[in-house]
Structure 1
Amino acid sequence: MKTQQIIGLALLVLGLILLFFGYQASQGLEDQLSEAVTGEYTDNTMIYWIAGGVSAVVGLAMLAFGKK
């Protein structure tokens, strides 16, 4: 594996882990109450989801479109 593919794979795995933590955080009592009252999740949960999504997409792109 080339360095770019290894970095892409690491970013993809990191993104999936962050998305999992974001999902777990969204199921907590604090987020459930915040979502019920304001219609939005807490900032920490949103950071997990955004960072996880961006990391997973960049990692997938690096794997798919990297130099072969």
Structure 2
Amino acid sequence: MNKIIGLALLVAGAILLYFGYNEYHSTASQVTEIVTGSPTNNAIWFLVGGAIAAIIGIGMVVKK
């Protein structure tokens, strides 16, 4: 059961990372980065959330 949850977290993390990557390279994020020096909050939250979910998912899949 834990491996199924781990796989679901891994897939969800990959999806969030994909959306975060697209958001990071969007026009709105680039304009915000030029003005403020950092990308939009959505891009950061998608990337951080995706990375955390993927790491937890990998840990649950690999753990015996």
- TM-score band by shorter chain is over 0.9
- Which runs of at least 4 in structure 1 moved beyond 4 Å after TM superposition? none
TM-score (norm 2): 0.93
Larger Rg: 1
| Cα separation, 2, equivalents of 1:39 and 1:16 | 26
Work out the number of aligned pairs and report it. 64
Is 1:20–2:14 an aligned residue pair?
A: no
TM-score (norm 1): 0.88
Gaps of 5+ in 1: none
Counterpart in 1 of 2:46? 48
RMSD between aligned residues: 0.8
Identity of aligned residues (%): 42
Gaps of 5+ in 2: none
